[in-house]
Amino acid sequence: MVGDRAVNGVEAKLIPIVGRHGHDATAGHLNRHIVIEIERDRKDDLVARLRDGEDRVHERHVRARGDHDAAAGGDVDAIVAAKLGADALQERRQARFRLIGMRSRIVQRGARGLQRGLRRTVMHDALTQGNRARDLSNQIADDRNDRILHGIHARSNSHRLRSLHTHQTVWPQSHGATEKNLHITFNAELAEHTTIGEVNADRVRRMGLRVSVASTASPDARASYYSFRGRAAMMHRRLLALVAPVAVVVAVSMADRMTAAGSLQSPEQVLGFKVGADNKLVRWDKIVEYMKLAAANSDRVRYRELGPSSNGHPFIVLEISAPDTLKNLDRYKQMERRLYFQGGAPTDAERDDLFKQGKLVLLVTCSIHATEIGASQMSVELVHRLATDDSPTVKKILDNVIFLLVPSLNPDGQIMVTDWFNKNVGTPYEASPIPYLYHPYVGHDNNRDMYMFTQKESQHTARLLWHDWFPAVWLDEHQMGSNGARIFVMPATDPINPNVHPLIYRWNGILGQSQAAALEAAGKEGIIYNSTYTNFWEGAMAWSGWWHNQVGLLTEVASARVAAPIEQQRPAPGRSAAPAAGAGRAGGEPGQGGRFGTGPLPPPTDVTSRTEYPRPWMGGRWTLRDIVDYELIATMALLETAADRREALMRQIYEVNRETIDNGKKGNPSAILVPIEHQHDAREAAHLVDRLNVGGVEIYRAETAFDADGTQYAAGTFVIPMTQVFARYAKDMLETQTYPEVRRAPNAPPEAPYDVTAWSLGLLLGVDTTFAKNPLPDSVKLTRITNQPKIGGDVAGTGARFTFDYKGPDTALAINRLLKDGARAAFEAPTRVTISGIARAKIEQAAKEFGLHVKATPESRTSNPGSRIPNPESRLSFHAPRVAMYQPWTGGNMDEGWTRWVLEQYEFNLTSIHNDDIRAGKLRQKFDAIILADQNPRDIIDGFDANAIRPVTMGNACDLAIDRLPIPVRNLKRGLTRDQHFAPGAILKIEVDAASPIAYGVAPNTYGFYINSPFFTLVEGFASQKTTVVARYPNTNVLASGWLKGEELMAGRAAVVSIDLNPGRVVLFGLRPQHRAQTHATFPLLFNALYLSATDSGATTKTSNEP
């Protein structure tokens, strides 16, 4: 019988079943083999769903045998994955509980067996024993009553599956199950014909179920077989009463539930291997392909590309929620924006509607550091689960949360690392680290870009966070070293930042500990909090959410060797070593440990149980699959807790936002002012407000002059009101930082910071800002700025010689553009530049674009008709410098990448060179300047000849020139211990010699970023050398913002030194002027060193007096 019909009042859909010979098999007899699967969802803790190893719901795949195997009379010829129609395979594969019975009748073991089955647990279940039984003789297995699945391979009726009750399938009851959801599937391998059995409608009706019938799968399909735990049930009687023994396929489900899976295949089916399998990685293009597949086959998932990565690969986000939510996504997005007071404060009615109907928006970002690859792999499995799982927990998450998933914050690096690993796996070089940066420019430092937003990936993330969705919770998933703890969860360590609302820190703890609890409940080891990472600093990904009133979370999971497993020795009994009091640094810093080593790791040293680390990691095997499991548990736990506490979270985030605005109304400050007038470089003021704008800050421009706190401000002044939801962020970015002293005991020394301690944006860009205490006058008219503001420029006068101020890095960009167009350039010391040999229209275009005020005059005549510019003794003419940047093969150099990025942005003519290029020689014939970025001299080049290239050196690379060249400079930092001098990242004051050409365009008193780099003193040199101290630290009060130990050792010392060797010049940048592309105030120091290398023949190089 084919078609739809009513069976005793219950609607059933009957689909034709095709027999072995291809014809309709809806009448006749049934083959001897029937597979019965009972699937049901129940409310359960996270543990039972996510266990792995011995704790995981076990899965077994068995290939079907053919019908012609006559000896298989008592055997199971097929345990197959029957399709419910063409597109329901994955829904059934994802079911948590299945019962498998053989033949056309179900044989029930006796009461003794039932009681034994009821005593089994997840840790010791029937399927586990059945799998083990395959390795035993048939008699031994039978004697142990563990012969549950042995019949799959044996050929005897006595080896059929007999004890269905040992799998403990139960009907949903009131013991915590909030709803009923039972799927029953009969899948028969057919001979000639099959008849459709009757459905017992009375039983179905009493159970509140709806019945449908679908076609079977092919006989050689596979089925996933799951064991489970549960309460006792009357399963067998209900099963037999519900469906006749000759029924073919019946799928039963709750009327109020739908299958969202569609035809979405599992990751394993698509990829051909299990996610997290040893030595197997899912490449970014395959991840993107799967995410598109999920969106196309599930009404719970939307795929969106935010733009291209640095190398042009798709940077994507998945929006995951209940189908009805996704249908009305714009409405919920507007509600979330109102939660963050976008467009003004919500009315009371809007607020109440938010709490009742709004969804908790939660963002998870993965694998910003490409070798920390586990989260990107996990994301595929996570999406499949959320797209196909119909469990109450997943339903609760989908109904209450809008989940934003960025599978990788670094797609380019994900591809690089995957390709490098795949290239070397199985070779002697399998453990070798990738020899170049795993981001096109910045490598590991891509997690230090969340206030300058220099990279495309940071910009995409910022738009998602603070212009598009405004998620209330943000988890960034990382990996760490391999030697200690298995996972770090929030909260982090002291100190806290005073600009972060206390509730944000409280929710960090609540949500982080919900992850820890789920991991502990799953039996996972090595879960630590209050360790290593501090609550203070800006710049990292999820950390930056704190100042935006978002609950920013971090997880750090111990690393494998990318995708290869690690073995770690176990500590000797009784030889535990407690960490330093309060240190808790069991995990190690990111990138350390045994990630790229070979052989087993030494035993963990931190094996002492304590509050933040109750179950220490004791060594053993650690795999990529372990990383996937830990991250999957942690992510699902976060989603479930967010769903459970949706309204509480939204109410308290609302209060944090409201309080932030109310604090601004009280003043002190009421606003932050960024004037245009009297800035060293007004263009940098525009850059500053643009960076804040990318970070979501509301910025206005005064249309009229006004008075604030007794000071007059001109029209055009930028105004940042504190009566906005991101006022905490603006304040933190523009004030100076004072790092709090942290002592673990009254007499203990202060603890050094984990990372950067200063980020004062005004100091880094050389821009003066003012904090207004009192409210601005009501009369001042303000206009909102949404794009980078322009500084006006013009060209005045007549003639072909054009002169303008040389101040700040944008002037260098204008010069480089003009040089490319054929112009001639010269410095007029110390703050003017002259351009000639180019059409006025080009100058006018540059003036408009870069805010230049250009004066045009006729070209002067001199007694030297060959001179390109007048008065050559007082000016320096130069051409476009040919710049080479040394790029090592030692895992990449982040300082090299940042320098390369800066020079490309300012359009210098740059070439990357490597070891072979230097060995080939003749570099001075090809290039005007060669840059050696910050790197240990021993790691640069063996047998390096500094005389051959006359380098521009930065940071620790300065020691190469000092050691290899007869220059009168000594590095005072070298030889100092960490206890004597240490600065993990601070902003220092510097004094600049304006008479030095390298200092042209730089303010005489400015600021630089310092991170444990050299500082110098001069010693006696040769008379032929001219040594210039270009920049120095002041004699007192060196520290401007952040934390510095040993400040007195730097006072009065040189930060930048230039040595004219005649011929050639060496420049030592102990203070790196381009640090992470953040230090705009000192960019011209580097640019001028390059211009000075390209001075035209016959020009006179001016130097300051010798020290």
User: Per-residue pLDDT averaged across 244-254, rounded?
Assistant: 34
CB 660 within 8 A of CB 725: yes
Residue-wise pLDDT for 743-762, tens only, equals 888 889 889 998 999 999 99
Highest average pLDDT, of 100-104, 419-423, 1062-1066, comes from 419-423
Q: How confident is the model at residue 972 (pLDDT cuts 50, 70, 90)?
A: very high
pLDDT of residue 181: 37
Q: How confident is the model at residue 874 (pLDDT cuts 50, 70, 90)?
A: low
pLDDT of residue 1030: 98
User: Per-residue pLDDT averaged across 724-728, rounded?
Assistant: 98
Q: In 300-455, which residue ranges form alpha helices assigned H by DSSP?
A: 323-327, 329-339, 348-357, 374-388, 392-400, 411-424
User: Per-residue pLDDT averaged across 537-562, rounded?
Assistant: 95
Residue-wise pLDDT for 367-384, tens only, equals 999 999 999 999 999 999
CB 1069 within 8 A of CB 1008: no
CA 23, 24, 29, 32 torsion-angle sign = positive
Written as six digits, the tokens of 417 are 């690392």
pLDDT of residue 69: 37
What is the residue-averaged pLDDT of the chain?
79
Residue-wise pLDDT for 589-616, tens only, equals 333 445 666 789 999 999 999 999 999 9
541 Cα distance to chain centroid: 7
* Residue 1019 clears pLDDT 90, i.e. is over it: yes
Residue-range domains of the chain with CATH:
3-254 (no CATH), 298-572+581-591+604-658 (3.40.630.10), 667-785 (no CATH), 794-877 (3.30.70), 881-1093 (3.40.50.880)
User: Per-residue pLDDT averaged across 125-151, rounded?
Assistant: 36
pLDDT of residue 540: 86
pLDDT of residue 438: 97
* Residue 77, SS3 per DSSP: coil
* Residue 796 clears pLDDT 60, i.e. is over it: yes
pLDDT of residue 117: 37
User: Per-residue pLDDT averaged across 965-979, rounded?
Assistant: 95
Residue-wise pLDDT for 1045-1059, tens only, equals 999 999 999 999 999
Residue 399 CB coordination number (10 Å): 14
* Residue 809 clears pLDDT 50, i.e. is over it: yes
CB 619 within 8 A of CB 603: yes
Q: How confident is the model at residue 216 (pLDDT cuts 50, 70, 90)?
A: very low
pLDDT of residue 84: 35
As a whole number of angstroms, the distance between CA 160 and CA 859 comes to: 103
Q: What is the 3-state secondary structure (H, E, C) of 979-1014?
A: CCCECCCEEEEEEECCCCHHHCCCCCEEEEEECCCC
CA 947, 951, 956, 958 torsion-angle sign = positive
Q: Which residue has the higher pLDDT, 26 or 293?
A: 293
pLDDT of residue 595: 60
pLDDT of residue 1096: 76
Highest average pLDDT, of 67-81, 178-192, 343-357, comes from 343-357
Element (H, E) at 964: helix 958-964
Percent over 90 (pLDDT), the chain: 64
802 Cα distance to chain centroid: 48
* Residue 719 clears pLDDT 90, i.e. is over it: yes
Q: Which residue has the higher pLDDT, 919 or 5?
A: 919
User: Per-residue pLDDT averaged across 330-341, rounded?
Assistant: 97
pLDDT of residue 613: 98
pLDDT of residue 815: 98
As a whole number of angstroms, the distance between CA 523 and CA 525 comes to: 7
